[in-house]
Structure 1
Amino acid sequence: MNTQLLYREEEIPIFENESSLPEDDIRWRLAVRVAESPTFASAPLLAKFLLFVCERTIANRTEDLTERNIGIVVFKRRPDFKTSEDNIVRTYARQLRQRLDRYFEEHERDEPLRILVPRGRYCAVFEERIALPQLVTKNFPEQGEPEKSAPLMMNPPMADDAGDAPSRRRGVWAAALLLGLLLAGLAGARMWTLQRTAAAEAAGPVWKEIFQPSMETMIVSADSGLVVLEEFSGKPATLEEYSDGSYFTQFDRNGTEEQRKLQRLSRERYTGVPDVNAAVAMTALPEARKTHVLVRNARALHVEDMKGVNLILLGSAYSTPWVTLYEPQMNFRFRFDQTVYSSYFLNNRPQPGEPEIYRNGSTSPPYSTYAVIGFLPNIDGAGRVLAIEGLTTAGTEAAYGFLLHGEIGAFLKTVPRDANGLRPFEILLRTTSVSSSASTVEIVAKRVY
Structure 2
Amino acid sequence: MAQKATPDPVPSSASSNAASPDAEVLFELRQVLESSEFAGSERGRTLLVYLVENALSGGLERLKERTIGIEIFGRDASYDTGQDAIVRVSANSVRKRLQAYYSRVPAASRVRIVLPAGTYVPEFQRVVEEPVDVPGPAEVPQGPTARPPNAFLSKMRLSFALVVLVLACAVLGYQNWKFRSAVAVSVRPDVLPWSGFAGRADAGIILTDANFTLHKSFSHREMTLAEYSSLDWLYELKAQAPAMLPLSGVPYTSVASAVTASRIAILLDRWGVTSFVRSARNMQVDDFKEDRPMILLGSAPSNPWVELIHDRLNFHVSVDVVRGMQLVLNRSPRQGEQASYVPTAQNQTAGVAYAVVALMPNLANKGPILLIAGTNANATQAAGEFLTDLPLLRSELAGRKILPGRKVQKMELLLRVDCMNSGASRSEVVAHRLTP
Kindly report which structure 2 residues correspond to 1:210-359, keeping only aligned pairs within 5 A, or say none.
210-253=196-239, 259-285=241-267, 290-308=272-290, 309-359=292-342
Q: Please give the secondary structure, in 2, of the residue aligned with 1:426.
A: strand
How well do the aligned residues superpose, as a CA RMSD in angstroms? 4.2
Cα distance in 2 for residues equivalent to 1:275 and 1:168: 19
Check whether the contact 2:170–2:259 (CA below 8 A) recurs between aligned residues.
Answer: yes
Counterpart for residue 147 of structure 2: none
Distance 1:145 1:252, change over 3 A: closer
SS of residue paired to 1:439: strand
The aligned counterpart of 2:407 is 421
Relative to structure 1, the CA distance from residue 382 to residue 409 in structure 2 (aligned partners, 3 Å threshold; closer, same or farther) is same
Please name the residue that 1:380 is paired with: 364
1:377 deviates by 1.2
Question: 1:397 is matched by which residue type in structure 2?
Answer: Q
Q: 2:393 matched to which residue of 1?
A: 408
Relative to structure 1, is the Cα distance of residues 188 and 310 closer, same or farther in structure 2, using a 3 angstrom cutoff?
A: closer
The answer to whether the Cα contact below 8 Å between 1:211 and 1:288 also exists between their aligned partners in 2 is: no
SS at match of 1:432: strand
Report deviation, 1:145.
11
Question: What is the CA-CA distance between 1:336 and the residue it aligns to?
Answer: 1.0
Aligned residue identity for 2:395 = A
1:334 Cα deviation after fit? 1.5
**1:127-177 CA-partner distances (Å, limit 9, x unpaired):** xxx99x99xxxxxxxxx997348683453624389xxxxx975649999x9
What displacement does 1:206 show? 3.4
Q: Secondary structure at the match of 1:270?
A: coil
Question: SS at 1:284's partner residue?
Answer: helix
Taking the aligned partners of 2:363 and 2:81, their CA distance within structure 1 comes to 36
Q: Which amino acid aligns with 2:217?
A: E
CA distance in 1, matches of 2:182, 2:268: 7
TM-score normalized by structure 1?
0.57
The answer to whether the 8 A contact 1:205-1:422 is kept is no
Three-state SS of the structure 1 residue aligned to 2:433 is strand
3-state DSSP of counterpart to 1:374? strand
**Which whole-Å deviations, capped at 9, do the CAs of 1:398-444 have from their partners, x for residues lacking one?**
111111112221344433699x9344211111112232311122211
Measured against aligned partners, the alpha-carbon deviations of 1:250-294 in whole angstroms (never above 9, x if no partner) come to: 2243xxxx6322444542211222222222222222655523321
Q: For the residues of structure 2 that align with 1:187 and 1:294, how far apart are their CA atoms? A: 14
**Greater relative contact order: 1 or 2 (C-alpha under 8 angstroms, separation 6 or more)?**
2
Whether the 8 Å CA contact 2:173–2:260 is kept in 1: the answer is: no
- Asked if residue 147 in structure 1 is aligned to residue 134 in structure 2, the reply is no
Once residues 169 and 440 of structure 1 are traced to their aligned partners in structure 2, the CA distance between those partners, rounded to angstroms, is: 29
Q: Is the 8 A contact 1:211 1:290 kept in 2?
A: no
Q: In structure 1, what is the Cα distance between the partners aligned to 2:421 and 2:268?
A: 33
Unaligned runs of 5+ in 1: 1-111, 113-129, 135-143, 162-166
Q: How far is 1:381 from its partner? A: 0.3
Deviation at 1:337, TM superposition (A): 1.9
Which residue of structure 2 aligns with residue 122 of structure 1? Answer: none
Counterpart residue identity of residue 248, structure 1:
L
Q: Is the 8 A contact 2:351 2:420 kept in 1?
A: yes
Unaligned segments of structure 2, at least 5 residues:
1-15, 17-21, 39-44, 67-74, 95-164
Distance, in Å, in 1 between the alignment partners of 2:194 and 2:318 is 31
Query: Equivalent residue for 1:368?
Result: 352
CA contact (8 A) 2:396 2:428 kept: no
8 Å contact kept, 1:222–1:314:
yes
Native 8 Å contact 2:410 2:434 kept in 1: yes
**Contact 2:215–2:233 at 8 Å: present in 1 too?**
no
Distance in 2, Cα, partners of 1:441 & 1:350: 21
Equivalent in the alignment of 1:159:
64
1:194 paired with 2:177, answer yes
Describe the SS at the equivalent of 2:295. strand
Q: 1:269 to 1:287 in 2, by over 3 A?
A: closer
SS of the aligned residue for 2:357 comes to strand
Please state how far the C-alpha of 1:366 moved relative to its aligned partner: 4.9
